[in-house]
Amino acid sequence: MKLTDTQQKQLEDKGISQEKLKEQIRRFQEGFPTLRLNRAAIIDDGIVSLRSVDIEALKDQYDSQKDDLDILKFVPASGAATRMFKFLHEFLSNYDPKKESVNSYINKNKVDQLFTFFTALEKFPFYAEVKKSLEQKYSDWGSKDEGEQKFLFVREMMEKNGFNYGGMPKGLVPFHKYKDHIATAFEEHLFEAAIYASCTGKARLHFTIAPAFKSDFKEEFKRIEEHVEQKTGISFDVTYSFQQPHTDTVAVDEENNPIVLDDGTLFFRPAGHGALLDNLDKQDADLIFVKNIDNVTVSSLEKEICDYKKILAGYLLKKRSKVFDYLEKLDNSNVSDELQKEMEKFLENDLCTVFPRDYFKYKTEYQHKYLFDKLNRPLRVCGMVKNEGEPGGGPFWVEDKFGEISIEIVEGVQVDKNSSSQQKIARSGTHFNPVDIVCSVRDHKGNKYNLHEYSDPDTGFITYKSSKGKEIKAQELPGLWNGGMSEWNSIFLEMPLKTFNPVKTVNDLLKPAHQLNG
């Protein structure tokens, strides 16, 4: 396609080359290859059982080493709270208190979530503040009928001239009510970091956020900093970054023609969490903990949850120490036959490496080269929890186009929907990925890896969206912990379900992990 001057300038401003744009359009035309699942990763076949490790020793290993490490907590936090309040947005749009009761609306529209929300209204952390505001705004608040009160309550919560929760990033929505204050998810991440991601009295956190909310996050940090530092005895270094414009992807119509907006520019969209590989690659630390913004708990459960983070990190340090030792020996050509066998066993048993059939026919020097290449890459330990129907990617053994097999975190959209055998394997998974990851991004000499070199560009995917009443096609980059880390060395370690407490809808705040008396 021939670009207009406006579109050429748009590409320049975004940092997207014309070649990159053509490549995106080619991907729409040809599609992405689906992954070929070999089998599900299960306990003792791709997932390490928690029962098989010495939990106390791993915690001690991490605690004894952490003050000598540079540690960072990386939190993807650019998500808006819109989906969290979806059924409340619909209630505001469709309910008229003058025409029907709330119960009638709930029964007619089968909105069980709304019934739960109003039944437990007083348990939400924002209840008292919203009610107080309404009592100040309406002198006749107490005499209004139930339907109008409920409608006004939701409107006050959601809209701009009220508390604007519907327009906030999820990280700044009130999550937990304590005796003397209300805490956001952002604040809970600071408290957590103080327990497991601090060293020598300091905790470093990096949040990826939407540019429009940077001042809101900074303001929230300023408001709570002193309170959190006094409670924890830890000081905090908090930084932020945005999804980079050059990672956006063009949207196309059903004929794969780029969509042109009314102002003549091309319609670009954010390319999913895979775009955050850029942000992660700009961070440097000995250990990087990755955890989503909405997966937090009230303080009474924090210590136990944080112990499991220490177990993940201790396990990584234990295995990394072996990796570094082997790399040093390979570097110095100091490898006996016995040591080589030990390395092969370690790669096979601990890093789930499946050797190519011809490996044992290689000359020794090529075997050493292969071993070095396999060991010399970023390492991650990912917590995996039992699958109880939660949406999200899962751990699988995957076969690439050369027939090589490795363990990966796979999203449902990456599996061939037309293959009954592949879908059967996808359904056989026992665990899923809660995004509880510890990463090691430096080599045995302390040099940082270029993370883009360990990503697989063929693992992106195409999604279908609606825009102005028309169906459009959008393109997502390989997911950050999916294809974005497909060439890393991966270890999947079983974690208990209690470590996973996401808030996908506002009603999740009623679960025990988010209630002080829970």
Looking at residue 391, what is its pLDDT? 65
pLDDT of residue 41: 98
Contact 1, 24 (CB under 8 A): no
Q: Could you give the CA distance from residue 90 to residue 155 in angstroms, rounded to a whole number? A: 11
Tokens for 18? Answer: 């014309």
Query: For 339-352, how does the pLDDT look when each residue is reduced to its tens digit (9 = 90+)?
Result: 999 999 999 999 99
Task: Quote the DSSP letter at residue 33.
Answer: P
**pLDDT tens digits for 370-418?**
999 999 999 999 999 999 877 678 999 999 888 899 999 999 999 999 9
Low-confidence ranges of the chain (pLDDT < 50): 518
User: pTM of the predicted model, to two decimals?
Assistant: 0.95
User: What residues contact residue 243 under an 8 Å CB cut-off, 6+ apart?
Assistant: 78, 208, 210, 270, 275, 276, 278, 279
All domains in the chain, ordered by first residue: 35-78+169-319+387-514 (3.90.550.10), 87-167 (no CATH)
Can you point out the beta strands (E) in 200-286? 202-208, 235-241, 249-250, 268-269
Dihedral angle, C-alpha 318, 322, 324, 325, nearest 10 ° = 140
**pLDDT score recorded for residue 518:** 47
pLDDT for the residue 466: 82
